[in-house]
Structure 1
């Protein structure tokens, strides 16, 4: 069993994030001491915490993460990640077009000066 501070260090999730994930029933502690209310996590929680950290980095919303956790088979996880990839690709293409427009705009300004 790991105290919250140890588990936070192991997983890279802040104590506040772990507390919030417990509140929304995304990642609940394996044990809560009834006397002092300290929360403890176990090895089984580690995989889920790492997965949640990855999903958050991939841009998953809390609701999407809850959906993944509720689907214990993770059947739709690959599909959701593929959709996130497509969205990021579209955003990158859009940003690339904006960069090109900016470059052209700046170039046209230099031509008018000269």
Structure 2
């Protein structure tokens, strides 16, 4: 027989843990001195320690281990417990695989967004823009309510299953000065659609026009910030190059990165200014 201190050294289990195991009933001492309360352990207890250790290596909890150590424990009991643990592990593996796939998708999107990065605001380019369908709501609102407008259109897209909330958020600034410092803004929020769908409430289904010539600037922007100089910079660049904005067409801002891909307050976006004329061949 071994005192608890000696048994702790032999088994590699702390005295505190041995007492806890005693309370749980999974490792009772072989004898307890009634007068002193001292616990005494035997070689049989060492075998129980090894069984506990083996079950813990399988990932079983102490609550799951306890029935396997009882006299009424049977191979069927062990098989049932192990089968449940196996099912739990399979579920965990599937969830881990899903997380790995989502991480891979996000890393791929980050690489794509990074590839579109520019060295500075001077990197304005010209490009064509193709028309496409979109769900949109236009309103004149306080700037701080922009998020409510975004949610209104996003909810329509999600409810109808006609697009994805991870798709590009599109802002069309109908103010003459684009996304400037006005507190009340004439703004249209849109999400792209693969094809036209029924309208609902204030949400309209529109075909956003394409342009033969547009000035484009990719930059990092906070869509809810009070001011973004990108639109003004693109306008100034276009004027310096002899281009004129296309009358009646709003400045378009396309947020390339989805909200779930935001890291910090900024999202990669593209400011698009429709211009008169065509691109040179």
TM-score interval (norm. to shorter):
0.7 to 0.9
Alpha-carbon RMSD across the aligned residues, in angstroms, is 2.1
Q: For structure 1, list consecutive stretches of 5 or more residues without a partner in the other structure.
A: none
Partner of 2:27: helix, strand, or coil? coil
Partner of 1:40: helix, strand, or coil? strand
Q: How does 1:20-99 map to 2 (within 5 A)?
A: 20-75=20-75, 76-99=77-100
Cα pair distance change 1:79/1:15, threshold 3 Å: same
Which residue does 2:9 correspond to in 1? Answer: 9
Any conservation in 1 of the 2:26–2:66 contact (CA below 8 Å)?
yes
Distance 1:8 1:68 in 2: 22
Q: For structure 2, list consecutive stretches of 5 or more residues without a partner in the other structure.
A: 116-281
Distance 2:72 2:14 in 1: 24
Any conservation in 2 of the 1:68–1:74 contact (CA below 8 Å)?
yes
Once the two structures are TM-superposed, the CA of residue 5 in structure 1 deviates from its matched residue by 2.5
Q: TM-score, normalised by structure 1?
A: 0.81
Distance 1:9 1:82 in 2: 34
Distance 1:48 1:20 in 2: 15
Structure with higher helix content: 1
Larger RCO (alpha carbons 8 Å, 6+ apart):
1
Distance 1:89 1:11 in 2: 32
Distance 1:67 1:9 in 2: 26
Once the two structures are TM-superposed, the CA of residue 38 in structure 1 deviates from its matched residue by 1.7
Q: Which has the larger radius of gyration?
A: 2
